[in-house]
Chain A
Amino acid sequence: MDAARRPSAALVAERAARASYGRLLALVSVRTRDIAAAEDALAEAFAAALAQWGDQGVPANPEGWLLTVARRAAGHQWARAETASRAADVLALLTEEREDFAASPFGDERLALLFVCAHPAIDPDAQAPLMLQTVLGLDASRIAAAFLVSGATMGQRLVRAKRKIRDAGIAFAVPDREDAPKRLDGVLSAIYAAYSTAWDDTLGADSRRAGLRGEALFLARLIAELMPDQPEALGLLSLICYCEARQPARRTADGSFVPLHAQDPQLWSRDMVLEAETALRRAATFAAPGRFQTEAAIQSLHAHQRMTGERFTAPLARLYDVLAGFAPTTGVMVARAVAHAENGAWDAALGQLRAMDGTAGYQPWWAALARVSWLAGDTEGAASAAATAAGLSADPAIRAFLLSGGYRFAAVGPEYNG
């Protein structure tokens, strides 16, 4: 073979890492429950690959090679840590596991890994970061930046979560049919948290902050693919696809924010809209509505409103009421108030906003107050709320939008219209 045309060892190893990191990590850690040890073992395997593949050529099945070496490394670590009798168990385990790269009842151990990461015993703040690290192999510093915490904090959070999984003996298993929907909600919420955190970035004109949009979309597609009969998984995928579809239209060339009502639907990604609609339609066939399906339906209405020029303010307000029943989070309650105000119920909306607690430093609440006050005819109150919302925003474009009076034309908020 022409040596120059052969992909380099580094390139193949890198490709394998990107495509199979989570799959490999899940397979190595599923029996030992020791994610940190599995990560070390995989790192050893990748290092060995770089060293050996260069000399001896890339093996026919790079992933299988990596798995075998990683398992051996994990076995070594375990054997070093345990007594001799335990080492025998490890050997038995390795023999037993030698064959299967893809053989598991679910075809993919990543599903079990996702459920472990979102186990209720794991600190909620660690769940999304843990998924990003274990399934996608992202490094802690990049995750930390996206979640706006220091690298040390994030590193500690991840270490603690992995220790908990190992020491508490959290099972690497997919919950049974009865428990699945409730546990799935934890997985979906963590993926959504990863996406929402990325949201700040995508709004921002600042490209230096690394967004995790693509990663969250990958996880949403993965869970929908691995659990195709769970309508909420499809709902989350639909929701994220709707938001992603509008990315190209959210900014002008100079980085200014374009609210939904002023976006050019021609710029929306057709593929993404299609994927969103397909997922939502499939979810609906199960006739089991839930939070994410409702959020996706809301985004679908927003999109159709823009495309057709029709106003769907009444159905939107009703959908937000339904959503508030499923997930009465602060973000949802704020968005619901805006939806009611857009539908003409200003006083009710103001009442809903004022009745909320703990919103003094919550940017979307102030942005909503600006919009609702404006609709209610309180010009001064609107301007003052918009100034506070601008001061609380980490996004230069949103800040400029609010300070230049954008709230007079459109509401803007993560839960409202993305």
Chain B
Amino acid sequence: MDLLTRAGQALAGRLVRLVLLLAAVATASFALMVHSPVDPVDAYVGGDIAAIGPEQRAQIAERWGLDDPPLERFATWLGNVAQGDLGRSLSFNQPVTEVIGERFLTSLALMATAWLLSGVFGFSLGVLAGMRQGRFTDRVVTWWAYTLASAPTFWVGLLLLYVFSVSLGWTPVCCAVPVGVLADDVTLLDRLHHLLLPALTLSVVGVAPVVLHTRYAVIEAMASDHVTFARAQGESTRGVVVHHVLRNAAAPAVLLQFASLGELFGGSVLAEQVFSYPGLGAATTTAALGQDVPLLLGIALFTTVFVFVGNQLGDLVHARLDPRVAQELGRARRPRWGRGEPGEPLLDPGPLAPERVGAR
């Protein structure tokens, strides 16, 4: 019972934090949008702007409440958002919630594949490099990860697109489904085929931080007393890694993977642009290019929730893997600045460990 109430309290605390965060993000992004020099009516009407007179303009502005003071508009918008109505997207001519819902599912397939791929590959490479610290394998893997950390996502995407789609013709050049095929006739295999290259792009670029931090954690664990003790008892290197190192190394890797959801989304914006993949990332670009303020605001709120959920999940899984963290979380309910903050020690793992560079 006691455990249940404590879990409930923790959940409530997290929800309160999320709501406060959302309120802050909503206020800040609305303020940004209000100060944008782009005229929403011009943006909406687009090329036909010459065809409408000042009266019609005034009508549209009045219909949208553009003449009201910003504070009043903000209150109206916030009231609607609280009821789950994010407004209507101008560029897709659909309610924003529908656009985000549909697009996010498409993106989710892409991001989940990339996330799993980069997690598995990054972790294995990191363990391999950490096991062979200072040797040839380690040097190659570290160099590779460092280089990838500085590579622009869209450039990697273009390279893969050229090699596999244009030269070899193994993968399709664009889109999420075959062109000219009815939606009902699209098979799962078709979707996977279209998904492969963008997911590969995202995971190739996203692999770097996981590799470097896993390597660091493995080296640390290999140098610890419990590993020396196990070795003294005659454990083989493989046995040491499997039984004594993997779990230690998994904790930071998992935390990092969950904390990187924001960068993953940023990467998907770029990858979806390269491969014309119709996901939420491409919708973000369309919204910004089409001056679609309601959709942009909706995406800002949605991605905030996305990143927040990722961080919280990371905390939970990290606590499962590392009992010390669970105790810490139990003691101090709110992670304290500079000590409990889970992302921080990872991001600055000492002078010898590499800095994360990730503009996805």
Task: State yes or no: do A and B come from one complex.
Answer: no
Binding site for A on B (CB under 8 A): none
